[in-house]
Amino acid sequence: MQGSLMLDISGTFLTAEDRHLLRQPQVCGVILFARNIEHPQQVRELCQAIRTVRSDLLIGVDQEGGRVQRLRQGFVELPAMGLLQQAENPEYVAQECGWLMAWEVLAMGIDFSFAPVLDLDYGRSSVIGLRSFGGDAQTVERLAGAFLQGMQAAGMPSVGKHFPGHGWVKADSHVAIPVDERSLAEIERSDLLPFKRLQQHLAGMMPAHVIYPEVDALPAGFSKVWLQDILRQQLGYQGVLFSDDLSMAGAHVAGDAAQRVLAALSAGCNVGLLCNDRAAAEQGLQALQSERVTPCRHLSVMYGRYTAQHDFQQHPRWQSARQALNTIKTRI
């Protein structure tokens, strides 16, 4: 049985303070950022050190491609997902891209990437843009579905984000509180479709720090209407729900760090993420300790089939997948 808090660490190796935090039973995992990553050997050693502290800890990373790619030196440069539709055979390239991303991440000893992005690109959002597979639900479903097939073939669980769709709003939830004024019916006809149709392939989902006032006054990640009534009951989704980073500006409507974590878990999230703010992480941890929050019991679906491999680039499919990506980058 695991905890309900996923947090980050300070650098490229574990400090004594990091180790103390990771030993707390309320902590279920670690998310790695660019500051934690130098080259493959260092990442493997860091992941091994994390698992030496606690073998049950999940390790995740944002390795979407394009500008959101934490593993860079010694890894294949992945294209932004919005460029895949320009390939001669987009579904094939998307599948190979999903496999290659997952294969490289798993080879480091990391369980999963918070991918794929299932938001639609309306040309409005400053934070989504080319992170999206396309501008309509059918394109996103088709290409993200192929990407998911590649991930699954490599042995990686997936996390679809940002439910029910972040692409319409212009504001960036990292620094603001976006508001999507559309009706539920309009969202259901568009943004919600990739989440609905691909849900059986998603081990996890991440809700958006976006307010949809026609549905609820709270951001989706704090909304029982979105998470319990719509996602769990109406859509029947049974996977793990990860909050988006609760240190982001879009989450501050719920109060301080302790209140944010408890609000996200109360609304229906299984895991709360608190990143890039150690004081907030400690405050959230103290809240979980004092409130005696029941930990998530089904996080086992998020363990990847990782093996810390030194020769991960020698796999025949790695070489063919890289060729496929080189072809699209040449065309673009």
Measured CA angle at 112 (ends 109, 113), to 5 deg: 120
In order, the DSSP letters of 266-320 are HHT-SBEEE-S-HHHHHHHHHHHHHHTPPPPS-GGGG-------S-GGGSHHHHH
Measured CA angle at 211 (ends 260, 241), to 5 deg: 55
| 147: phi then psi, degrees, rounded to nearest 5 | -60, -45
Q: How many angstroms separate the Cα of 73 from the Cα of each of 34, 69, 104, 323?
A: 10, 11, 12, 18
229 DSSP 8-state letter:
I
User: Checking phi first, is residue 255 left (phi over 0); if not, alpha (psi -120 to 50) or beta?
Assistant: left
Task: Identify whether the C-beta of residue 240 lies closer than 8 Å to the C-beta of residue 111.
Answer: no
Q: Which residues are catalytic?
A: 174, 244
- Map tokens 């094939």 to a residue: 92
